[in-house]
Structure 1
């Protein structure tokens, strides 16, 4: 059988298994292992074994459980609750201020977690009920929580960028720095959108009443500012020391996890229940990503052996005559379409063996492309019918927020994400300036 047909059969078999609801790592790993055995016989067993050894020897992967632990420790210990109370008091007097404070909270949580799940849990359980109680438009604020939580996979430390770095064999430190400015740019655009909408229509986000503002003394306001000191110290210890060259990437993740643990201890919130929940969730997320990376490495090795990447390159450039930018835009469109049905890790594992080598051969920077991929994942998170954050919000939202409200709420934020994607594509320095400043080149 022609190798191109074998590659097509592998791809279609994997998609079929995923559409049946099988776990991502199981579907991808099974197809890769079965294809390896059928193509190369007993020698094919070396592929998954080599992939496992490569995974176990990849030292930066230690950052994954440490950053996840840090995020869940801050969430479970209630430090995130303190942060929202601070934003609530200081931003409440402004129209739309609580929604702006929610976006700010999501930025801080993203800078300490690396996953959208924790941001969504905090936003849906703490911010959303408070916003609805104060008369905020339910469609707007539902979109705010969903879009804000998606920042966790772009603003460092991003677990998704760790996964991309492993599969694309790119330095995670540079990927994190590349995601920082685009993430902050997107958050700023969210804030501008909320500000403008609430300026022209104050009923969407009413300010705190004069009576309620008078009940909060300036002493209490300044006291609440202390809630922001702990996250800032943790972020400085984790990221600041890394950027200044005092700690390595793995060491900075250990500093972050240790700082979060000490913060919970000093606040008297490090209970047995908090520790149990944090460890359980950390273990679950870490194991999931480990299995997915293992399956991705095995699948990519089989694809490389078949020469499928070269065949795709010849198809686009040789036979279709497309320019590098046309090919890149087609790739991003395919991510958006797949994101309607698959999560970010499934998308990356499916297309990385094809897209990453092709992007490199077209002359594009793989660090920059990692940011494009991550922004597209954010768009996919909010894209009906099967956006990841849509289902998380449906599970966590109060009864008065319907599925129709959830779908309607994401449209303006998806447009903002598309604008950010276009800006980063047009001006690559938005993503590449910080890595080049810190690492040279």
Structure 2
């Protein structure tokens, strides 16, 4: 979850950007003028006249076939997003517009019918609670303390600082699950330390970005909750299914850094002897982590054990985060207010995107879009694993341009019925994926895909988060290159989860039977 992180993006100023801005302004003014004229006609002239321009548009696309309607809807969405309009209002606005153009005024009842079930879904209440927990622990100085402890333990090894960054990010992912904050804060803390000691730029930057994005996969992931709601999947099962892949990816990152720096120690020199501490001092450092570690074990333990629902576990975690902040001397009315404001902003962003995308996709499915997409993809003649590979590529490509919440709500409702219709008999003679585990398995594959999207050039979010805290002499090209090896490791991890589905399904089946 991108909480409290600067959304650093390429600076506008290109010719295309200026043209898009002016097109957006002119289109808005034209639409506003049309609406103003119609309002004046209705208010001051004949309010019962049904021949006004806007009224004549109702049902004007009623005879449009689903194929051209698909191109029209998603083409309009792409153009609006490229113009820089917010995803939540673009999807919701286009959804309402197409409902009116294809149907009539009565079809607008689809809007409340799509939104109300979300408003009454209790699992969504866990989102603001987990975001508040993350915000409070972040303001308690947890990220700095975590890196300090792990750095003191591992700094004496070649590549120790990079491995410490990845390990600290892994532990933080299990505590707070904040992606943007983890990447930015680790960039501020760990990057200068690594550059000062002569670390290879690509290893230093890549370890920060790859480690920071683990929060989207390792519980308590906000994205996993949203997927569970959309896919009608158990949050606890999805969390358990993501544990082994998350730890596997973290281990692969650390192993890569270890091997590279073992072959060439100059890529990641160990810290000087004068900066190292004794084993007793290392053990003493752990006392600062006792409270937050107990908190995360309590929250995840209650959730995995079936003792508490996700909302109850998140509520306990939020209260525990306040206690941890108080123990670390970081709790105050100001801290509480800042964490609450951050929670409100992040939650509102997520929910608005959910509402808008739900209207857009709901209308598209109602018009037969689901059947059209399913028939098109199944009609390619690809094998089930070929179709799965195609869906994974589409998710990664979407991740280069769209926010992960938008991808979830636009693509996953369409992809899940396709995956359910397929039978995965296993690759290379390995065990098949049981039918009842397919949605769970695909969910974890989706989470790994979204982690890849954060590192995918040219528009991966993590690339611009780290750009915002890098020294000026590090170019965007260096940042792009530093992501490629770790992106390849993520692709390898994704392939392992496809080939060995038990990496995902074993733990949930063990706990929940």
Which residue of structure 2 lines up, in the alignment, with residue 427 of structure 1?
Answer: 500
Summarize deviations over 1:237-271 as a string: whole Å, max 9, x none: 10112222322221111111111110111222112
Instruction: Report the Cα distance in structure 1 between the residues aligned to 2:328 and 2:457, rounded to whole angstroms.
Output: 41
Which residue of structure 2 lines up, in the alignment, with residue 159 of structure 1?
Answer: 222
Say which SS state the counterpart of residue 246 (structure 1) adopts: coil
More helix by percentage: 1
Which residue of structure 1 lines up, in the alignment, with residue 286 of structure 2?
Answer: 225
- What is the TM-score normalised by the length of structure 2? 0.82
1:341 matches 2:401: yes
Instruction: Report the Cα distance in structure 2 between the residues aligned to 1:396 and 1:160, rounded to whole angstroms.
Output: 25
The CA deviation at 1:310 is 1.1
Which residue of structure 1 lines up, in the alignment, with residue 21 of structure 2?
Answer: none
Instruction: Report the Cα distance in structure 2 between the residues aligned to 1:434 and 1:309, rounded to whole angstroms.
Output: 32
Which residue of structure 1 lines up, in the alignment, with residue 33 of structure 2?
Answer: none
Q: Verify the 8 A CA contact 1:37 1:45 in the aligned structure 2.
A: yes
Any unmatched runs of 5+ in structure 1? none
The CA deviation at 1:218 is 4.3
The CA deviation at 1:234 is 0.9
Structure 2 matches for 1:22-421, cutoff 5 A? 22-213=85-276, 216-317=277-378, 319-363=379-423, 365-421=438-494
Instruction: Report the Cα distance in structure 2 between the residues aligned to 1:70 and 1:418, rounded to whole angstroms.
Output: 31
Q: Verify the 8 A CA contact 2:177 2:220 in the aligned structure 1.
A: yes
Q: Verify the 8 A CA contact 1:98 1:131 in the aligned structure 2.
A: yes
Summarize deviations over 1:380-400 as a string: whole Å, max 9, x none: 111111111111111122334
- What is the TM-score normalised by the length of structure 1? 0.95
Any unmatched runs of 5+ in structure 2? 1-63, 424-434
Which residue of structure 1 lines up, in the alignment, with residue 510 of structure 2?
Answer: 437
Instruction: Report the Cα distance in structure 1 between the residues aligned to 2:420 and 2:360, rounded to whole angstroms.
Output: 19
Which residue of structure 1 lines up, in the alignment, with residue 45 of structure 2?
Answer: none
CA pair 56-190 structure 1, distance change in 2 beyond 3 A: same
The CA deviation at 1:428 is 1.0
Summarize deviations over 1:138-184 as a string: whole Å, max 9, x none: 22111110111110100011111122222222222221111111010
CA RMSD of aligned residues (A): 1.6
Say which SS state the counterpart of residue 103 (structure 2) adopts: helix
Q: Verify the 8 A CA contact 1:77 1:264 in the aligned structure 2.
A: yes
Instruction: Report the Cα distance in structure 2 between the residues aligned to 1:188 and 1:56, rounded to whole angstroms.
Output: 39
